Amino acid sequence: QVQLVQSGAEVKKPGASVKVSCKTSGYTFTTFFIHWVRQAPGQGPEWMGWIDTNNGVTNYAQKFQGRVTMTRDTSIGTAYMELSSLRSDDTAIYYCARTVTNIDFDPWGQGTLVTVSS
């Protein structure tokens, strides 16, 4: 079955960077986009961007442009999201999710908690 497995929780200081991985299995990695969505405590999901896993083209939400970088390694079927210049309000669970058509996010990774604290 299709699975997305993310890297473990991270604790970072303000100003640092974090890189989260999303390892896929059960399908051909380069066939579908991978999106990154975050959810702050008690808040709704917030879309961060997508990566076309076939050619590496990315599209980031305006809010994160200049701070986020999405990459992929097709040899191991893994996508990455790096967020820099972390602030306390970046504390959230970060999810990767696959789409087949447009915004049919399914499945999702299990989530990675990133805590930004001094």
* Single residue of 50, 64, 80, 94 touching another protein by CB under 8 A: 50
Interface with another protein, residue 68, by CB under 8 A: no
> Residue 114, Cβ neighbours under 10 Å: how many?
19
Give how many residues touch another protein by CB under 8 A: 22
User: DSSP of 1-44, one letter per residue?
Assistant: --EEEEPPPEEE-TT--EEEEEEEESS-GGGSEEEEEEE-TTS-
Cβ at position 106, least distance to another protein in Å: 4
Nearest one of 103, 90, 110 to 59, comparing CA atoms: 103
CB within 8 Å of 16: residues ≥ 6 apart: 86, 116
3-state secondary structure of 61: coil
Interface with another protein, residue 8, by CB under 8 A: no
Cβ at position 51, least distance to another protein in Å: 13
Nearer of residues 19 and 63 to another protein, judged by Cβ? 63
Cβ at position 50, least distance to another protein in Å: 8
Interface pattern 76-115 for another protein (x via CB under 8 A): -------------------x-----xxxxxx-xxxx----
Distance between CA atoms of 99 and 38, rounded to whole angstroms?
A: 16
The residues binding another protein (CB under 8 A) are: 35, 37, 44-47, 50, 59, 61-63, 95, 101-106, 108-111
